[in-house]
Amino acid sequence: MTDQRAVGKWIFWLAFAGLVAAALFWAIRPEPVWVDLAEVERGRFEVSITEEGKTRVKDRYLVSSPVAGYLHRVNFDIGDPVKPGQLLTEVDPMPAGILDARSRAEAEARVGAARSALNSARQKVAAAEAEARFTADELNRLESLNRQQFVSEERLQQAVAAKNRAQAFLNSARFDEEVMAHELAAARTRLEVSAAHSDGGEALERVGVRSPVQGAVLGIIRTSEGVIQAGEPILEVGDPEALEVVVDVLSFDAVNLAQGGNVRLSGWGGQTLQAVVSRVEPVGFEDVSALGVKERRVQVVADIISPAENWEALGDGYRVDATFVLWSEDDVVQVPASAVFQNDEGTYVFRVSEGRAQQVQVSEGESNGLYTAINDGLAAGDRVIRHPDRNLEDGDRVRAR
């Protein structure tokens, strides 16, 4: 009986010691590390750049006044259709300046002088005509005598020369008469055609301003009538169905874009559209961001290739979000970029298995900032730790939040 009690005591103390040891073990062992987990996925992966852009009409025409004058009111609204050669408005050429008393007296004197010069030229013409008739008659008379051998050949040649000289003087006098007639007309125009003699009627000559292309009115710069200078813009026309998208891209990203690259257009109020890069401008410019940071940007132009009926509501100057696709694959293993970290030996992630963190070396591929493609080391369905703590080590117990 005593032996049985002794054995029972030993069993009791051994059990008690085991319980105490277990309690101490549970008390002093490290607590699991709370972590955020993400599942490894397999699917489409792409690297892209998204920037805000705007639409614009490809070919714009700024219609300006061909002459200085008085512009008539433009009776068009923005969006109105126009055809090639269609009359847009008219311009009355500017009238001559008003002549003051002194200028008018000078103009009248020029008219009188021009009239007198014309009369003098006419008298010279009359005298030259008389001389020409006389020399012609004299030549005819001498030619008849020469046939009867009553006049020498030398005398006949002198008569021919005299007739030619007289005809030349007549032609010169007639030219002088024409010059004087034009000068008189110019002097009369200077005197008579002036703003002082304007009767307020319609201009004799009115210049029409016409549309150069088929399209619509995109902008009206001068609506009301009034004085306008030659070359001053009136309105802008173009074809609103021929749209392109202009995007200001950071120069750091623009070097990765090339002609023919894929572009997605969204954020304009309709379905996503497809486009291609048509031109990357070779010259950059400086821009200031919303945070006040100076940036170097490059203008990139894209052509819309989606059917026109899908973007009928788009117009000139509309906002769009342009996504430039740099790289894409349909079947790629990918993890959040925050799960990947580097050390001296390579690239790693922490994979969670049976409640413990396992440091796994991986081969990474492309990254779009949010996700990273994994070429080797993980499989779809694995769970990895996002934003792993620096103190986390291989084999540590973890618990998902």
Of 383, 332, 336, nearest to 358 by C-alpha is: 383
* CB contact at 8 A, 329 and 375: no
pLDDT in tens, the chain (401 residues): 556 666 666 776 677 677 766 666 565 556 788 888 999 999 999 898 999 999 999 888 899 998 888 899 999 998 899 998 899 998 888 765 666 677 777 777 888 888 888 888 888 888 888 888 888 888 787 777 777 777 777 777 777 778 888 887 888 888 788 878 888 787 777 776 654 444 444 445 788 888 888 889 988 998 888 888 888 999 999 888 888 999 999 999 999 999 999 999 999 999 999 999 999 999 999 888 878 888 899 999 999 999 988 988 888 889 999 999 988 888 999 999 999 998 888 899 999 988 888 999 999 888 888 899 999 989 999 999 998 888 888 888 888 88
Fold exhibited by the domain 60-95+210-238: OB fold (Dihydrolipoamide Acetyltransferase, E2P) (2.40.50)
Q: Where are the domains of the chain?
A: 30-45+331-400, 48-57+240-328, 60-95+210-238, 101-197
Q: Which CATH superfamily is domain 48-57+240-328 in?
A: Efflux pump adaptor protein, beta barrel domain (2.40.30.170)
Cα–Cα distance for residue pair 380/334, rounded to 1 Å: 8
pTM of the complete model beyond 0.85: no
Residues 6+ apart with CB under 8 A from 333: 40, 41, 42, 373, 374, 375, 378, 379, 380
Looking at 1.10.620.20, 1.20.1630.10, 2.40.420.20, 2.40.480.10, the CATH number of the domain 30-45+331-400 comes to: 2.40.420.20
Place of tokens 């009538």: 225
